[in-house]
């Protein structure tokens, strides 16, 4: 019996790999063809080419008003604002995603350039001998014209793009002077009460919290805590700028600008789900003395083996290029294919009102539409850059975040994970506990990535109330094994 299971398991795994290779080889080619199609469509509809990451990272990044630079092999961008010049890292997974088409193209280009290299090497050696090469920091050759373009008021892409939804719900932020996130607030407004910040996950919204937990908190909690649930930059009813690269800094700046600064928040509890856990950790590290408790649901923490390229390793863990399970197939489509994922957004997000109507019609209004709203209401630009720059791009920073929380953020850390979560494995939560020994990990039986909250909101509301109560009244203990 045991041998039969092993044979079946091996056969199934082999079949999955074989089918996946065929399917993703086809998708590699299909995404390449879609790239050409979108360039033509963008040119005819918007009278300009839409840069992408297929051919040139420089073209895609600098077109958004950023300046691409490199330092010791790492890609960074210079962000220009009205008063500051920012230098921050972006994920190399945006423009380095190995595929059949890319490998063939790369080999062809390398062969064509091979003859030029010999001449360039001789010139480079001569420059080094003369001492003209002194630094490993290189600014992209277009920096001067980029600065001139920014100062001169560079034109950004239309808002919304032709492939984005233009309904009032999705574009409400563009019709007002508001330059902050959409925030749903519940509880007393005076500063004397404790603050709780809720951060949702990828392609979700504040409704993930407000439609589940907010109605189920006790009357005592509603009078004690002031609750803030945000729509992250690029999602829900928050701004969706086309010139943003949706980096960690941009997300944190908007959270501070929308919640912490205007409400003069001195201390707060954080509750975060999935991708939001990364932003929660970064926020806790930035405000170490202000965080009273940190509650993480399904944190996507994958320790990177020594010698591995961090962002590429995490991308393959999150999006393994497999057709089964289906959730892994969906994650792979979203992460590996810039133009296929744009097509999905075009078909689903742009037409979300039709899909919502059909869902209500088929289910006779039995389905909770807030999950659909969170899934539909974003732009491809926001989802694509957030996925790569937050999930993949922070792979080499998460160890530092967790070390800082362990050593400098003196608050209780609680981690919840669904036993049946096929998107983020339970092992990720135990990885967090290994880095922060005082963290409590609770695995919820027969629950997955979504039902860890949805369907058990009353129970989870009571659990959160207990966490906040104990964190406010006592010093956090050092070990909770």
Q: Which residues are catalytic?
A: 200, 274, 421, 449
What b/e sequence results for 56-86 when a residue is b if at least 16 CB atoms lie within 10 Å of its CB, and e otherwise?
Answer: ebbbbbbbbbbbbbeeeeebbbbbbeeeeee
Tokens of 63: 């077109």
Tokens of 68: 């691409």
Q: Residue 313: in which H helix or E strand, if any?
A: helix 310-318
Closest CA relative to residue 300, chosen from 318, 327, 320, 326: 318
DSSP class per residue in 378-439: B-HHHHHHHIIIIIITTTTTHHHHHHHHHHH--SEEEEEEETT-SSS-THHHHHHHHHSTT-
Tokens of 409: 């953020």
Cβ pair 357, 212 in contact under 8 A:
no
79 vs 124, 143, 367, 388, CA distance in Å? Answer: 30, 12, 42, 18
**C-alpha to C-alpha distance for 338 and 327, rounded to whole angstroms:** 18
Closest CA relative to residue 386, chosen from 198, 258, 252, 228: 252
Tokens of 230: 């945000």
Cβ pair 239, 208 in contact under 8 A:
no
Q: For residue 330, what are the contacts with CB-CB under 8 A and spacing of at least 6?
A: none
**C-alpha to C-alpha distance for 52 and 382, rounded to whole angstroms:** 14
Closest CA relative to residue 200, chosen from 272, 257, 248: 272
């Amino acid at each position: 019996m045991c041998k039969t299971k092993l044979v079946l398991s091996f056969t199934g795994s082999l079949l999955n790999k074989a089918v996946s290779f065929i399917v993703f080889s086809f998708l590699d080619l299909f995404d390449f063809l879609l790239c050409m199609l979108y360039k033509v469509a963008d040119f005819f509809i918007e009278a300009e080419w839409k840069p992408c990451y297929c051919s040139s990272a420089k073209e895609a990044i600098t077109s958004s008003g950023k300046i691409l630079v490199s330092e010791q092999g790492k890609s960074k961008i210079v962000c220009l604002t009205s008063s500051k010049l920012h230098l921050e890292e972006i994920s190399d997974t945006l423009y380095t995603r190995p595929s059949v088409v890319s490998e063939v193209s790369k080999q062809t280009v390398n062969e064509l350039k091979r003859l030029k290299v010999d001449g360039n090497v001789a010139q480079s050696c001569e420059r080094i001998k003369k001492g003209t090469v002194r630094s490993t920091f290189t600014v992209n050759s277009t920096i001067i014209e980029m600065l001139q373009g920014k100062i001169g008021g560079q034109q950004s892409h239309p808002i919304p793009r032709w492939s984005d939804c233009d309904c009032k719900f999705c574009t409400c932020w563009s019709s007002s002077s508001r330059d902050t996130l959409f925030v749903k607030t519940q509880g007393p407004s005076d500063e004397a009460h404790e603050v709780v910040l809720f951060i949702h996950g990828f392609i979700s919204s504040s409704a993930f919290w407000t439609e589940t937990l907010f109605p189920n908190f006790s009357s005592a909690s509603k009078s004690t805590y002031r609750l803030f649930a945000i729509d992250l930059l690029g999602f829900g009813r928050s701004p969706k700028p086309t010139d943003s690269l949706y980096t960690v800094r941009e997300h944190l700046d908007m959270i501070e600008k929308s919640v912490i600064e205007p409400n003069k928040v001195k201390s707060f509890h954080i509750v975060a789900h999935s991708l939001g856990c990364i932003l929660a950790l970064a926020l806790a590290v930035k405000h170490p003395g202000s965080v009273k408790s940190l509650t993480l649901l399904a944190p996507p923490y994958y320790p990177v083996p020594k010698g591995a390229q961090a962002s590429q390793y995490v991308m393959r863990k999150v999006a393994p290029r497999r057709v089964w399970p289906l959730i892994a197939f969906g994650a792979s489509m979203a992460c590996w294919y810039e133009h296929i994922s744009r097509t999905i957004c075009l078909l689903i997000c742009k037409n979300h009102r039709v899909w919502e109507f059909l869902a209500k019609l088929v289910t006779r209004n039995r389905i909770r539409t807030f999950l659909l709203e969170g899934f539909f209401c974003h732009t491809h630009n926001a989802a694509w850059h957030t996925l790569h720059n937050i999930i993949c791009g922070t792979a080499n920073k998460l160890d530092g975040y967790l070390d800082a929380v362990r050593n400098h953020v003196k608050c209780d850390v609680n981690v919840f994970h669904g036993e049946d979560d096929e998107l983020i494995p339970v092992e990720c939560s135990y990885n967090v506990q290994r880095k922060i020994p005082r963290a409590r990990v609770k695995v919820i039986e027969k629950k997955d990535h979504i039902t860890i909250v949805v369907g058990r909101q009353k129970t989870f509301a009571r659990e959160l109330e207990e966490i906040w109560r104990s964190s406010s009244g006592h010093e956090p203990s050092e070990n909770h094994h």
